[in-house]
């Protein structure tokens, strides 16, 4: 259980605790978009200089445009006005005690030959420290964009994907160390600089040994330039890497001789297929796992937000209620970090989920933490029922309407002649009626013997779309087929995880009886179509059945046949994950309980329920390709 998280921070002199961090950990916000530009945080500037209506993807591209238009004055005007002294006062007034200040190396050293950046501009860091001292705020200096780039992504200044020629050897380590030395010498006497971060989100392509070697040298350079461990923490990113692997290599390289270093964790719950596929309940359980992880080593949560993946949009909460629940739960969990946390961002045009000022104003960052129901990771998670209640009858019968949620959080829809998985909505296009196979409207022999029958593992079923046509397999694609022309291509063998009855929230695999291939969706983001290409039980083939809360008018053709329902002789492999923690293999079968969490912020008026926007296909993710069932169902971001 989480206790209430106070948001009013009493300012006091820094002292260092026995955990290796400040006695008053950082509770702050990022000032992203000021001294390193990104399209979301600095949207106004990017929009003003869009080319043929298309905005630049990173500061590098924007600077090329500004130089071409002879409009370099705009970048200096942006730096003068985007963050001001007034912002530091408002940050203090929110009860925060620190800011993380991201900037590119060009702010410190000036742009290298052939690069379009504008710098140096250390006077803006000077101002930030003056304002921080005036309002009693701590500052973590963050070398967010390293020379050559620590990745091919926009946060380092230049986005070079998907057609990337970037290599980790392009990262100029020596020049990075020089930038850190300049910073350390210039600000070693500052009372407000209590942390310095050596880089931001280094690519997983950088070998762990090379990365830890750079970290080790960076700490030596910073300490040698006058930033003593008693006053300044050195922050080392753990981005998209197994913590145990990095900590082991760090211990080997550094011989554990450095004091007051901490590792930066970025907890985003909205990117890539793994997070898009998690329900609201699973998202909150992941936050609890973060809290456990943060207890293991000195850490700071350098970036986090209120943004959630697609599957978490299906819930009984209003958007502001969900933000309040998610925000307060994260605040409580990240209080476990020895060095504290920084929200991304102080201001952001992407929306309230990324903007501290708006989320704080609506109450999502204050108030008591909602106690989540206890769960040991086995059986059914009661939180699922709280946040997305089951129908009164959770078992699925012939004639019931269902939705099929793919592993990346989108529901299968029949919006044309081919099935797709495009949106998180549960609408008419996404609704399918479960039928027995080979049932035609002209079949008069059914008569009064039609009746509802439960559906279970091994059954052969058909799925009728909203337009009355059946889902079928033709040429490896899942397409619609008129019912009076249906054949074995519209029959699917149902494999239910756990080998039991089909219920609301059951995990299933659908195997074409015609081709023996399983339905799949493309996890790379390149194709939204539903296919039946391989005979493998993998991530791309996994679906979750969500039973519709209220059935439409009865569909006569969905009635059960009097004959014995067909069963499959095909036995699927065991659908379990023996090497994964229990929370990764839960079935989430609904319970009949109807508990409700009290989530509305105390200072927020009762809002009208907002219409949900359809979500577009996200960017490319690591492709799983053609793979056999491995017994593991966890995705790596």
User: For 220-254, how does the pLDDT look when each residue is reduced to its tens digit (9 = 90+)?
Assistant: 999 999 999 999 999 999 999 999 999 999 999 99
Question: Residue 32 pLDDT more than 50?
Answer: yes
What span, in angstroms and rounded, lies between the C-alpha atoms of 482 and 472? 9
Helix runs in 135-261, H state only: 173-187, 208-224, 243-254
CB-based contact 359:305 (threshold 8 Å): no
Confidence of residue 526 (pLDDT cuts 50, 70, 90): confident
**192 and 336 share a domain?**
yes
What span, in angstroms and rounded, lies between the C-alpha atoms of 480 and 464? 9
- Token pair 């445009």 is found at 65
**407 and 305 share a domain?**
no
Question: Residue 487 pLDDT more than 60?
Answer: yes
Question: Residue 555 pLDDT more than 50?
Answer: no
**343 and 409 share a domain?**
no
| 325 sits in which H/E element | helix 319-334
Extract the tokens encoding 141.
């200096």
Strand ranges for 475-529 from DSSP E: 477-481, 492-496, 507-512, 518-521
Residue that is last in its domain, among 547, 580, 608: 547
**318 and 420 share a domain?**
no
Extract the tokens encoding 107.
């702010």
The whole-number average pLDDT for the span 552-563 is 38
**330 and 432 share a domain?**
no
552 vs 79, higher pLDDT? 79
CB-based contact 512:489 (threshold 8 Å): yes
**414 and 323 share a domain?**
no
What pLDDT shows up at residue 620? 35
Phi, psi (degrees; rounded to nearest 5) at 2: -95, 140
Question: Residue 575 pLDDT more than 50?
Answer: no
**403 and 357 share a domain?**
no
Structural domain contains residue 116 = yes
Give the CA radius of gyration of the chain. 27
Write the CA distances from 295 to 241, 333, 336, 338, 385, integer angstroms. Answer: 17, 10, 6, 8, 29
The whole-number average pLDDT for the span 425-436 is 94
Structural domain contains residue 11 = no
What pLDDT shows up at residue 204? 96
What span, in angstroms and rounded, lies between the C-alpha atoms of 533 and 273? 20
End-to-end Cα separation, the chain, in angstroms: 28
What pLDDT shows up at residue 43? 87
**293 and 416 share a domain?**
no
- The set of residues, in sequence order, having a beta carbon less than 8 Å from that of 440 and lying 6+ positions away, is 483, 484, 486, 557
- The string of pLDDT tens digits covering residues 153-165 is 999 999 998 777 8
Work out the burial of residue 229: count CB atoms within 10 Å of its CB; fewer than 13 is exposed, 13-18 middle, 19 or more buried.
middle
- The string of pLDDT tens digits covering residues 89-122 is 999 999 999 999 999 999 999 999 999 999 999 9
What span, in angstroms and rounded, lies between the C-alpha atoms of 406 and 478? 14
- The set of residues, in sequence order, having a beta carbon less than 8 Å from that of 214 and lying 6+ positions away, is 173, 176, 177, 198, 199
What span, in angstroms and rounded, lies between the C-alpha atoms of 620 and 599? 34
What span, in angstroms and rounded, lies between the C-alpha atoms of 374 and 93? 35
Mean of the per-residue pLDDT values for the chain? 84
Question: Residue 559 pLDDT more than 80?
Answer: no
Structural domain contains residue 235 = yes
Q: Which residues pair with 456 in a beta bridge?
A: 501
Which of 264, 252, 347 minimizes the C-alpha distance to 298? 264
Q: What's the domain range around 466?
A: 393-440+454-547
| 285 sits in which H/E element | helix 280-294
Residue that is last in its domain, among 547, 575, 590: 547
Structural domain contains residue 312 = yes
Question: Residue 133 pLDDT more than 80?
Answer: yes
For the entire predicted model, the pTM comes to 0.82
**229 and 320 share a domain?**
yes
**323 and 430 share a domain?**
no
What pLDDT shows up at residue 483? 83
Vertex 227 angle, CA 244 and 16, to 5°: 65
Work out the burial of residue 617: count CB atoms within 10 Å of its CB; fewer than 13 is exposed, 13-18 middle, 19 or more buried.
middle
Residue 70 Rama label (left phi>0; alpha psi -120 to 50; beta): left
Structural domain contains residue 608 = no
- The string of pLDDT tens digits covering residues 449-463 is 456 799 999 999 999
Question: Residue 188 pLDDT more than 50?
Answer: yes
Structural domain contains residue 308 = yes
CB-based contact 593:381 (threshold 8 Å): no
CATH number for 303? 3.20.20.80
Confidence of residue 20 (pLDDT cuts 50, 70, 90): low
**511 and 398 share a domain?**
yes
What span, in angstroms and rounded, lies between the C-alpha atoms of 225 and 302? 24
**318 and 433 share a domain?**
no
Count of domains forming the chain: 2
Residue that is last in its domain, among 347, 362, 377: 362
What pLDDT shows up at residue 333? 98
320 vs 562, higher pLDDT? 320
CB-based contact 410:395 (threshold 8 Å): no
The whole-number average pLDDT for the span 199-228 is 98
What pLDDT shows up at residue 493? 97
| 272 sits in which H/E element | helix 272-276
Question: Residue 523 pLDDT more than 70?
Answer: yes
What pLDDT shows up at residue 416? 85
Range among 27-36, 562-571, 592-601 rated most confident = 27-36
Residue-level length of the chain: 637
What pLDDT shows up at residue 220? 99
Structural domain contains residue 110 = yes
254 vs 349, higher pLDDT? 254
Question: Residue 3 pLDDT more than 70?
Answer: no
Question: Residue 75 pLDDT more than 80?
Answer: yes
- The set of residues, in sequence order, having a beta carbon less than 8 Å from that of 83 and lying 6+ positions away, is 31, 34, 128, 346
- The string of pLDDT tens digits covering residues 365-419 is 998 999 999 999 888 899 999 999 999 999 999 999 999 999 999 999 998 899 9
Which of 457, 459, 485 minimizes the C-alpha distance to 470? 485
CATH number for 431? 2.80.10.50
Structural domain contains residue 198 = yes
Question: Residue 570 pLDDT more than 90?
Answer: no
């Amino acid at each position: 259980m989480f206790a209430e998280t106070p948001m009013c921070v009493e300012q006091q002199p820094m002292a260092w605790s026995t955990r290796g961090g400040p006695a008053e950990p950082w509770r702050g916000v990022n000032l992203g978009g000021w001294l390193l530009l990104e399209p979301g945080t600095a949207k106004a500037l990017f929009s003003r200089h869009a080319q043929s209506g298309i905005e630049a993807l990173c500061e590098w591209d924007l600077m090329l445009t500004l130089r071409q238009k002879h409009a370099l004055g705009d970048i200096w005007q942006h730096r003068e006005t985007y963050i001001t002294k007034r912002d530091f006062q408002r940050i203090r007034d929110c009860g925060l005690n620190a800011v993380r200040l991201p900037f590119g190396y060009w702010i410190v050293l000036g742009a290298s030959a052939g690069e379009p950046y504008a710098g140096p501009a250390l006077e803006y860091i000077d101002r930030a420290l003056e304002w921080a001292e005036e309002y009693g705020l701590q500052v973590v200096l963050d070398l967010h964009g390293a020379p050559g780039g620590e990745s091919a992504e926009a946060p380092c200044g230049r986005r070079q994907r998907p057609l990337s020629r970037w290599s980790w050897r392009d990262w100029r380590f020596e020049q990075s160390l020089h930038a850190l030395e300049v910073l350390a010498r210039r600000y070693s006497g500052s009372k407000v600089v209590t942390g310095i971060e050596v880089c931001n989100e280094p690519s997983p392509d950088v070998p762990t040994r090379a990365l830890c070697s750079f970290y080790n040298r960076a700490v030596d350079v910073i300490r040698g330039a006058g930033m003593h461990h008693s006053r300044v923490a050195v922050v080392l990113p753990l981005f998209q890497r197994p913590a145990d692997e990095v900590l082991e290599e760090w211990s080997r390289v550094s011989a554990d001789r450095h004091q007051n270093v901490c590792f930066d964790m970025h907890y985003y719950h909205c990117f890539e297929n793994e997070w898009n596929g998690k329900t609201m309940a699973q998202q909150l359980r992941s936050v609890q796992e973060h809290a456990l992880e943060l207890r293991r080593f000195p850490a700071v949560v350098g970036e986090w937000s209120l943004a959630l993946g697609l599957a978490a949009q299906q819930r009984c909460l209003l958007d502001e209620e969900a933000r309040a629940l998610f925000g307060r739960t994260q605040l409580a969990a990240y209080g476990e970090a020895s060095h504290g946390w920084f929200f991304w961002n102080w201001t952001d045009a992407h929306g309230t989920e990324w903007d501290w000022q708006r989320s704080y104003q609506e109450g999502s960052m204050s108030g008591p933490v909602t106690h989540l129901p206890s769960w040991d990771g086995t059986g059914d998670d009661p939180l699922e029922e709280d946040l997305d209640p089951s129908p009164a009858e959770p078992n699925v019968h012939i004639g019931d309407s269902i939705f099929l949620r793919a592993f990346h959080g989108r529901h299968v829809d029949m919006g044309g002649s081919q099935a797709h998985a495009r949106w998180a909505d549960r609408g008419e296009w996404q609704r399918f009626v479960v039928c027995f196979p080979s049932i035609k409207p002209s079949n008069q022999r059914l008569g009064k013997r039609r009746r509802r029958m439960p559906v279970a593992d091994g059954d052969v079923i058909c799925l009728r779309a909203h337009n009355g046509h059946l889902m079928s397999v033709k040429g490896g694609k899942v397409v619609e087929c008129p019912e009076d022309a249906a054949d074995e291509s519209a029959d699917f063998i149902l494999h239910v995880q756990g080998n039991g009855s089909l219920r609301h929230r059951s995990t299933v695999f659908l195997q074409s009886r015609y081709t023996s291939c399983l339905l799949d969706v493309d996890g790379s983001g390149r194709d939204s179509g539903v296919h039946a290409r391989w005979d493998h039980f993998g991530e791309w083939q996994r679906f979750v059945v969500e039973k519709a809360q209220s059935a439409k008018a009865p569909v006569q053709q969905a009635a059960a046949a009097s004959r014995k329902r067909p069963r499959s002789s095909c036995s699927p492999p065991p659908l379990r994950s023996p090497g994964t923690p229990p929370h990764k293999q839960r079935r989430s079968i609904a319970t009949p309980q109807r508990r409700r969490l009290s989530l509305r912020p105390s200072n927020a008026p009762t809002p009208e329920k907002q219409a949900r926007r359809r979500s577009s296909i996200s960017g490319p993710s690591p492709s799983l390709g053609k793979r056999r069932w491995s017994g593991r169902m966890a995705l790596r971001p």
